[in-house]
Amino acid sequence: MKSKKILVITSRYPFPIRGGDKLRIAEIINFLSRKNTIDLVSVGNFKVKNNFIRKQFIFKNSVINQIYQMTKSFFNNEPLQIGFFKIPKMKKKINLISKNYDVIIFHLIRTCYYLPKNFKGNKILEMTDLISKNYKKVEKNISNNNPLRLIYTFEKKKLINYEKKMIKSFNYSVFVNRKDLDESLLINKKIKIIGNGTFKKKNIFLCNTKKNNIIFFGNINSLANRTACYEFIKNYLPFLKNNYPNLKFVILGNCSIFLKFIFKLHGVKVYSNIKNLSNFTQNTLAGICNVNIQSGLQNKILDYTSIGLPVLANKVSNNFSYLKSDDLLIYKDKKDFFIKLDKLYKNKSFQKKISKNCFKKTNKFYQWNLILERYNSLI
């Protein structure tokens, strides 16, 4: 395949990698840079030297600009999500340099504003997931008395229309999960499903080690993860403390000082700046994924399974087609959660079976190199 010149446009600078959306676009850049030339235009306050990227054009988004652009979007009946990331200088730069590229990859719906009118090359919208669906789930989880509910309701409607409109402007639109899409999108030949992956690791999960932690891993500053932690502490932690006094709930991931303080009040420790998850799992029984308000794929599940750590996940979280009930512990409700936890806690042979199954499947089907190979056919 002939080497291509590719421009990647992101609404948040991908480095350092914090959160699933940054991880995904960073891995796409990494993979495509092996046979192509990659340049990056992004919103951020700094840039990091990167071996995968030839040139980086970084633009700051001032608070004044954010307020101004969101006000304009409001009166133009456009999603505030789009207005927040509009930087006219960045658009001007993209229009100026776009003719130098064979392919432009737009990361997330927020970057559609930067689509050059006269670009003749291949245009790929890396949607990852549907923000409108995220908003719909948030809307359901907010009480009717909360004024934020009204904002999410209006934004959701605007985003649904905007997403459907913009998808038509691209050669391809890429999603990570088929279940997020309605029938009208699934039959569209421009829609491609390319999931998430992980890195091959040694199976370091030791079944004969004393297990005294259950963990939640992720960027806790994100709404979906923060809400999931609150929900677990409120509805599950009291029963856990009373019936499994030796088990501790531990949170791993980037977290604000304020959130750490709140969690500490409930006796929950938070460890940030996690560079290697396996360093924190030697005394861990299971990883939890109870996220309810996020579309796409929950990469934390792959983070757990890639090191052979058993996973307790709700039905909403598991959208991985190759990971079934023999590989993950999918629970229906609170009662079912503790039934499965109890079996895992008391049965070491069951621990070993689940650990072996999830590790084997993840390393066979969910390696980044294998997953992203499909991108070659799009560029």
H-type alpha helices, the chain: 20-32, 63-75, 80-84, 88-97, 131-141, 147-167, 183-186, 223-235, 237-243, 257-265, 299-305, 334-346, 348-365, 368-372
Percent of the chain with pLDDT over 90: 55
Q: Which of 279, 272, 228 is nearest to 254 (CA)?
A: 272
pLDDT for residue 204? 55
pLDDT for residue 58? 97
At a CB cut-off of 8 Å and minimum separation 6, what does 30 contact? 52, 368
pLDDT for residue 202? 63
Find tokens 């030697």 and name the residue. Answer: 282
Q: Is the pLDDT of residue 67 over 90?
A: yes
- How far is Cα of residue 318 from the mean position of the Cα atoms in its chain? 13
Residue 234: pLDDT band by 50, 70, 90 thresholds?
Answer: very high
Write out pLDDT tens, residues 238-260.
Answer: 999 999 999 999 999 989 999 99
Q: Is the pLDDT of residue 203 over 70?
A: no
- 349 φ/ψ angles, rounded to the nearest 5 degrees: -70, -35
Task: Give the DSSP letter of residue 286.
Answer: E
pLDDT for residue 21? 84
Candidate from 95-99, 119-123, 229-233, 279-283 with smallest mean pLDDT: 279-283
Arithmetic mean of pLDDT, 117-122: 92
Q: Report residue 61 as tokens.
A: 């988004």
pLDDT for residue 316? 77
Q: Is the pLDDT of residue 231 over 60?
A: yes
Task: Give the DSSP letter of residue 272.
Answer: -
Residue 65 to residues 48, 108, 378, Cα–Cα distance (Å): 24, 20, 35
pLDDT for residue 97? 97
pLDDT for residue 322? 76
Answer yes or no: are the C-beta atoms of 149 and 308 closer than 8 Å.
Answer: no
Domains of the chain (ranges; CATH) run: 5-194 (3.40.50.2000), 213-365 (3.40.50.2000)
Higher-confidence position of 294 and 161: 161
pLDDT for residue 323? 82
Query: Average model confidence (pLDDT) for the chain?
Result: 88
pLDDT for residue 208? 46
Q: Which of 229, 232, 213 is nearest to 221 (CA)?
A: 229
Q: How far apart are CA 78 and CA 87, in angstroms?
A: 15
Candidate from 161-170, 279-288, 369-378 with smallest mean pLDDT: 279-288
Arithmetic mean of pLDDT, 148-174: 88
Arithmetic mean of pLDDT, 4-15: 96
Write out pLDDT tens, residues 26-49.
Answer: 999 999 999 999 999 999 999 998
